[in-house]
Amino acid sequence: MIEKLIKGYERFRNGYFQLNRERLEQLAEKQTPEIAMISCCDSRVDPGILFDLEPGEIFVIRNVANLVPPFETKGDYHGTSAALQFAVTCLQVKQVVVLGHANCGGIRALMENDGAIQTDGFIDSWMNLAAMAKKEVLAREDLKTPEQRIDACEKTAVGYSLHNLMTYPWIRERVDAGTLNLVGCYYDLRNGDLVMLDEINEP
């Protein structure tokens, strides 16, 4: 499979890179994205392609199920937290977007799990961040099928991630000051629809 990557790189190097060389050389010196996005690592959801963006326009933080952990300093989940801190305090992005999506394997695993967390695995522990979203969805009487509940949890988890973003002091102070806003959206890869779920401009 490495041959496929090498051939793709050659097309990029001889095509896109040459056509956009001046801009890419400028980006090599400094990046100034105005948007940070928390997206799932799902191979079918590529923010750059989805939003038709050029290199340097968006700072993407990818993890399983596009979850944002709450602020804490004990040593857990710091990959996402560190990237957020860099985007907000160093790059000074103006917007943070949480992008949920349909057919999310992480959310499906959460919804189909009986509640037991495997101590020798990482997925269950990470997905436990969305446990409250699962609880909220399971309490709804309007959702009749497992697929409806999974779909609802994918959207509900985005709201909890937005809430968790506000637990970071350097995010809250910027939202309070009006220099940063938080947005949640959901991409349905089955039909190409994008739905805006929530927005936080102030507490």
Marked catalytic residue, from 21, 44, 46, 140? 44
Please tell me which residue in 40, 151, 153, 174 is annotated as part of the active site. 40
Residue 164 token pair: 């968790």
Dig out the tokens for 141 from the structure.
């009487």
Q: How far apart are the first and last CA of the chain?
A: 48
Which of 62, 104, 149, 185 is the catalytic position?
A: 104
Active site residue 153: no
Rg (CA), the chain: 18
Q: 52-56 long-range contacts, Cβ below 8 Å, gap at least 24? A: 54/20, 54/23, 55/23, 55/24, 55/27, 56/23, 56/27, 56/31, 56/32
Question: Containing H/E element for 35?
Answer: strand 35-40
Our answer to whether residue 90 is catalytic in this structure is no
- What is the spatial distance between Cα 91 and Cα 62, in angstroms, rounded to a whole number? 17
Q: Is 190 a catalytic residue?
A: no
In the DSSP assignment, the letter for residue 39 is E
Residue 142: active-site member: no
172 a catalytic residue: no
C-alpha angle 104-109-115 in degrees, rounded to nearest 5: 145
Give me the active site residues, please: 40, 42, 44, 101, 104
